């Protein structure tokens, strides 16, 4: 099984188009400790030919251009793509907007939890994805699903499970208590992904809290790609880059008591990789104390183009 991180940043990318914070500025200036990143997505293949894309970011065209395995092959027909399926883990803009770039009459399958597919179905702009060509298939939580593309099975099996998260920003009612926007019923999901053998990895790009059920599920896992949005819960507020904490956005912080490092410390996971990393997060500075902290704790910081084989 081949896993490619095609986008390692949170929404907005790195640098974000309108952000002039010190880290985004450092990327634009070409400082050595910083690398640009596109928005959150991975690609997985069981055979190196047929690929499933997990989340379709607004940067999808750029990501395909940077990943030859996702491009039409030189000896292929006039219209074709190695991307046979797209699986979305929530309905956040940075995970579904790229679907609109896949509208050129290419057959593929779209998988998502009921809550996510319902949100997509209610927005008529997604009707540009012709349902006679792009089949929409619900993922039943807690059950294993064999992924299929337009030409048959992809050799990948996924099990979707609800994780603590939040409804999409654009569905929030400003007149309600923000605590009501938190959700653990399928608005955000994690995925256990396998290729028909003993190798299984988990992909959780958005998570508000690692509860005891999730800890039990992940204990002893071979590989986990996990939400690395913020290092500190209040870092965006402290830096003057935004008014929301990580908790308010539905993302737990890496550091602190009950942060990600703390909650994962005793789970005996083989390899741990942060993805979905916000432009404010100091782990993006390869020379920072925060970067050393996560690496000393046994974590890798995912990057665009990172490839893992299981």
Yes or no: say if 4 and 43 are a contact pair by the CB < 8 Å rule. yes
Q: Please report which confidence band the pLDDT of residue 179 belongs to, taking 50, 70 and 90 as the band edges.
A: low
Report pLDDT digits (tens) over 213-232: 999 999 999 999 999 999 99
pLDDT at 169 over 80: no
Mean pLDDT of the chain: 92
- Does this model's pTM top 0.85? My answer is yes
Measuring CA to CA, which residue among 25, 43, 32 is closest to residue 280?
25
Query: In what order do the strands lie in the sheet containing 152-162?
Result: 144-149, 152-162, 189-194, 200-204, 223-227, 271-275, 299-301
Secondary structure in 3-state letters for 3-71: EEEEECECCCCECCCCCCCHHHHHHHCCCCCCCCECECEEEEECCCCCEEEECCCCCHHHHHHCCHHHC
pLDDT at residue 242, as a whole number: 83
Domains in the chain: how many in total?
Answer: 1
Query: Any idea what the CATH number is for the domain that residue 137 is in?
Result: 3.60.15.10
pLDDT at residue 180 in the model: 47
Q: What is the extent of the structural domain holding 242? A: 2-309
Q: What is the pLDDT of residue 248?
A: 74
- Nearest by Cα to 165 from 194, 187, 146, 139: 187
Q: What is the pLDDT of residue 187?
A: 79
pLDDT tens digit sequence for 108-163 = 999 999 989 999 999 999 999 999 999 999 999 999 999 999 999 999 999 999 99
pLDDT of 10 higher than 80 = yes
pLDDT surpasses 80 at 167: no
Under the banding of pLDDT at 50, 70 and 90, the label for residue 196 is: confident
Task: Say whether pLDDT at 209 is over 60.
Answer: yes
Distance, CA of 189 to CA of 171 (rounded, Å): 17
Overall average pLDDT of the 37-53 stretch = 97
């Amino acid at each position: 099984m081949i896993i490619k991180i095609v986008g390692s940043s949170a929404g907005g990318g790195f640098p974000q188009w309108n952000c002039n914070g010190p880290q985004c500025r450092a990327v634009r200036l070409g400082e050595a400790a910083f690398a640009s990143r596109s928005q959150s997505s991975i690609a997985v293949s069981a055979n190196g030919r047929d690929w499933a894309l997990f989340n379709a970011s607004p940067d999808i065209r750029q990501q395909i251009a940077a990943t030859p395995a996702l491009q039409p092959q030189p000896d292929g027909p006039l219209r074709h793509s190695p991307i046979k399926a797209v699986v979305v883990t929530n309905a956040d803009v940075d995970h579904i907007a790229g679907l609109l770039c896949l509208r050129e009459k290419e057959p593929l399958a779209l998988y998502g939890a009921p809550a996510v597919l319902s949100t997509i179905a209610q927005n008529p702009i997604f009707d540009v994805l012709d349902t006679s060509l792009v089949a929409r298939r619900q993922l039943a939580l807690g059950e294993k699903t064999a992924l299929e593309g337009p030409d048959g099975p992809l050799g990948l099996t996924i099990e979707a499970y609800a994780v603590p998260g939040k409804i999409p920003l654009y569905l929030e009612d400003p007149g309600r208590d923000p605590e009501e926007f938190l959700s653990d019923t399928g608005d955000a999901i994690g995925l256990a992904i396998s290729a028909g053998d003993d190798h299984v990895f988990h992909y959780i790009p958005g998570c508000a809290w690692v509860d005891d059920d999730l800890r039990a599920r992940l204990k002893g896992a071979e590989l986990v790609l996990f939400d690395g949005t913020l290092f500190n819960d209040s870092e965006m507020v402290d830096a003057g880059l935004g008014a929301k904490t990580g908790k308010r956005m539905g993302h737990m912080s890496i550091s602190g008591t009950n942060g990600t490092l703390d909650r994962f410390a005793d789970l005996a996971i083989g390899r741990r990789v942060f993805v979905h990393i916000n432009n404010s997060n100091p782990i993006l500075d390869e020379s920072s104390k925060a970067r050393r902290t996560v690496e000393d704790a046994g974590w890798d910081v995912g990057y665009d183009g990172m490839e893992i084989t299981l």
